[in-house]
Amino acid sequence: MAISKTSAVFRKNGQTRDITATANIAAGDIKIVDGLMCMAQWPIANGETGVLKVLQRGEVVEITTNEAIGATNAGVAIYVTSAGLVSKSDASGANKLLGYTAKAVAAGDLTFEVVCA
């Protein structure tokens, strides 16, 4: 029997991930879901279902930290720890690559841009 008709229903473009939060998630938090680097665009309360944006290669995100990462050249790898914190180090081999600094970061800068990998 041959297929005589096909229909499709658009679900999503692959740039988001649905999650049920196991703790409060603030807008701007970075989470790793199914091995993908994701970012919360809106707060998601503990136990609530929400949507995270999957960060795509080449996108630029602005990172703000409460402690400076120190003087850094453009193009330096930036990693995310399992706790969702950024780091210039992957000494443990457990951190996931977020991307590379878009431009040089001054020693005291708390905000900088990363080009997603």
Per-residue pLDDT reduced to its tens digit, 65-86? 999 999 999 999 999 998 889 9
- Please give the residue range of the domain that contains residue 27: 13-55
Residue 13 has pLDDT above 70, yes or no: no
Considering the domain architecture, whether residues 61 and 80 belong to the same structural domain is answered as yes
46 in a structural domain: yes
Considering the domain architecture, whether residues 43 and 64 belong to the same structural domain is answered as no
Closest Cα to residue 79, out of 89, 69, 71? 89
Using one digit for the tens of pLDDT, what is the confidence trace for 27-62? 999 999 988 999 999 999 999 999 999 999 999 999
Give the Cα separation of 27 and 22 in Å (integer): 15
Q: How many domains does the structure of the chain reveal?
A: 2
Considering the domain architecture, whether residues 44 and 88 belong to the same structural domain is answered as no
25 in a structural domain: yes
Considering the domain architecture, whether residues 22 and 70 belong to the same structural domain is answered as no
